[in-house]
Amino acid sequence: MASKNTPAERKSEPKPKITLMWTYRGSIEEVWDLWTTKEGLESWWGPEEFFTRVRRLDLRPGGDFEYATTATDLSQVEALNAAGRPITRIGRITFLEVVPQKRLVYRTSIDYIPDVPPYDVTALIEFSTVEPGVRMVATQDAMHNSEWTQKSAIDMDRQFNRLAKVIEGRRQAEQENLMSTPSGQNPDGVPSREKERL
C-alpha cells in the first residue's frame, strides 16, 4: 500500500515566476556597467516619470543597493498627494550573487502596498553575448496576487525599455561624434599623425 507523505515530507511547490527577455545593441561591458554603477543605474532605474538617485551601492553578495525615486510628472505628483503618499520612495535590494558580466541575483523587499504585509521577491538577471549585442533574461518571483504580478511584469518591461533607450542614445552620440570629427583627426581634434608625435 502506498503511503501518503506527511506535511514535512511534501515538497514545496515552486513559486510562480515572471520572465522577460531583451536583446540590446551594445557590448556586455556597457550593459553590465549600466546595471552596476551609480551613474549607470541613475540613467534608467525606476518607474517612468520618476527621477532615481542612488544612495548606496555595495556590489557584492550581501551588499545593498539603496535608492530614492521621486515623481517628476505633475499628474503623478498630484495622484500621490491625493492618496496621501510621499512623492519620494526609498527602495532597497540586497545582492545575493554577483558574477561579473554574467549574472546578478538580488532580493527586494515589497513594503509599499497598502494593507499587504511586507514580503520579499528574488530576481535573477542573466547576461550573454549574442548577435547583435547582449541578451538579458530577467526572472523574478511573482507578486502576492495575479493583479500585482501583471503590474510588476509591465513595470519591469517599461524599465528595461528605458535601459534600451539609454544604450541607443549612447550609440547615437558616439556615431554623431565620429561623423563630426574631420577625417584624419581624433575626437579630441588633434590630427592623428601629430598626436602620435606628442
Look up the CATH number of the domain holding residue 94: 3.30.530.20
Q: What's the structural domain count of the chain?
A: 1
**pTM for this structure?**
0.79
Examine residue 164 and state whether it is found in any structural domain, yes or no: yes
Of residues 61 and 188, the one with the higher pLDDT is 61
Q: What radius of gyration do the chain's Cα atoms show?
A: 22
Which three cell numbers mark 157? 518591461
Residue 49 CB contacts under 8 Å (≥ 6 apart), including other chains: 71, 72, 73, 76
Contact criterion met (CB below 8 Å) for 130 and 137? no
With bands split at pLDDT 50, 70 and 90, how would you rate the model's confidence at 78? confident
Examine residue 187 and state whether it is found in any structural domain, yes or no: no
Quote the pLDDT of residue 187. 56
Examine residue 123 and state whether it is found in any structural domain, yes or no: yes
pLDDT tens-digit profile of 145-190? 999 999 999 999 999 999 999 999 998 888 888 887 665 556 555 4
Domain range for 117 is 17-180
> How far apart are the C-alpha atoms of 77 and 80, rounded to whole Å?
5
Examine residue 6 and state whether it is found in any structural domain, yes or no: no
Examine residue 27 and state whether it is found in any structural domain, yes or no: yes
Examine residue 188 and state whether it is found in any structural domain, yes or no: no
Of residues 90 and 12, the one with the higher pLDDT is 90
Mean model confidence pLDDT for the chain: 85
Mean pLDDT for the stretch of residues 109-128: 94
Examine residue 55 and state whether it is found in any structural domain, yes or no: yes
Contact criterion met (CB below 8 Å) for 103 and 125? yes
With bands split at pLDDT 50, 70 and 90, how would you rate the model's confidence at 1? very low
> How far apart are the C-alpha atoms of 170 and 188, rounded to whole Å?
18
Examine residue 165 and state whether it is found in any structural domain, yes or no: yes
